[in-house]
Amino acid sequence: MNALEIHKLGKMYNNTKVALLDVSLEVPEGSFFALLGPNGAGKSTLINILADTVRPSSGSISLLGHELFLERAWCKRRMGVVPQEIAFDPFFSPREILRFSRGMYGQKNDDTWVDELLERLELTEHAHKITRQLSGGMRRRLLVAQALVHRPKVVILDEPTAGVDVELRKRLWDFMRELNAAGTTILLTTHYLEEAEELCDHVAIIDQGKVITSQSMQALLGDVASSSLYLRYAHTLQLSSQDRAALAGFYPRINQGQLCLTLNKLGETSNFDQAYQLARQCFGSPLTVTVGQEDLEDVFLRLTGEKKSEKQGGTTG
């Protein structure tokens, strides 16, 4: 069964701004699903529709086989959502907030679980402070705890690690992995593509309100990924529009400080020489040259970049 089936979901803000256009996605039960997209792609809009804080313009969603818009109460008990925006009553403590939240789902107090959540999200020593006194990273972790307090079957997290330091981020992911291994479906958005690649088994990329691709991570990195040429220079390059035009066939981009160019898929005749010569004409000789399989960030940048060049092509031509 699918944990979520999203069918032709549309959202237009203020009758003018199309944030989602016929978005259809299937999130398999038990999956660890990354919803990726550049700023403004529509990720939070989709998640806020799931959380019932934004009203969709069209479409339907089913959660574990139940219609979300018709069976809200049933669905809410089985779903935990961490929104991107943080808003708490500033005068309650984390422990109080977690207790109330369970009550709101009609569940009895479960101090053992609340304590465990506080512990796992490293909030125990802050459990009695009022939320106004918590740092941004602590509040973000409290949001995660709040979404888990009723032990939902499906957990949806909108940038759960934004503003969380490296060490805690790792532990938060470990916790998510454990929940997933125990059968919880997890859908998250993040801009940390390396982490998404490591954690998630499914991935959807949306851009400008439309789904560009949705498949298993393995299929995306296996079938869609090409080989890439990485050129390191003494300094990080800035790509001018002239450079972009000169290298257009190779989807030029900067990935982790290196110039990255897409070659043909592995196994096909390589166009390495052509890409390398063009790069030299633009920037001179690089310090190092490597060829490798595209990673998630490369695929992401290429696919969302392709969209942009299509659009630019459309407006100029």
Ligand X SMILES: Nc1ncnc2c1ncn2[C@@H]1O[C@H](COP(=O)(O)OP(=O)(O)OP(=O)(O)O)[C@@H](O)[C@H]1O
Residues binding ligand X: number (CB under 6 A): 13
Q: Which of 23, 33, 44, 144 binds ligand X (CB under 6 A)?
A: 44
Which region among 37-45, 219-227, 255-263, 297-305 touches ligand X (by CB under 6 A)?
37-45
CA atoms of 157 and 178, how far apart (whole Å): 15
Judged by CB under 6 A, the residue of 1, 15, 39, 166 near ligand X is 39
In whole angstroms, how close is the CB of 317 to Mg ion at the nearest point? 32
| Cβ partners under 8 Å of residue 118, min gap 6 | 94, 95, 98, 124, 127, 145
Binding to ligand X by CB under 6 A, coded x per residue (else -) over 105-124, reads --------------------
Which of 44/131 has CB closer to ligand X?
A: 44
Cα(161)–Cα(283) distance, integer angstroms: 36
Stretches 42-50, 100-108, 222-230, 282-290: which one binds ligand X (CB under 6 A)? 42-50
* Residue with Cβ nearer ligand X (11 or 253): 11
**Distance separating alpha carbons of residues 287 and 275, to the nearest angstrom:** 16
Sheet strand arrangement including 253-255:
253-255, 258-262, 227-232, 288-293
CB proximity list for 99: less than 8 A, separation 6 or greater: 109, 114
Q: Is 304 in the site for ligand X (CB under 6 A)?
A: no
3-state secondary structure of 76: helix
**Which residue stretch of 40-48, 68-76, 116-124, 292-300 sits at the interface with ligand X (rule: CB under 6 A)?**
40-48
User: Does 15 sit near ligand X (CB under 6 A)?
Assistant: no
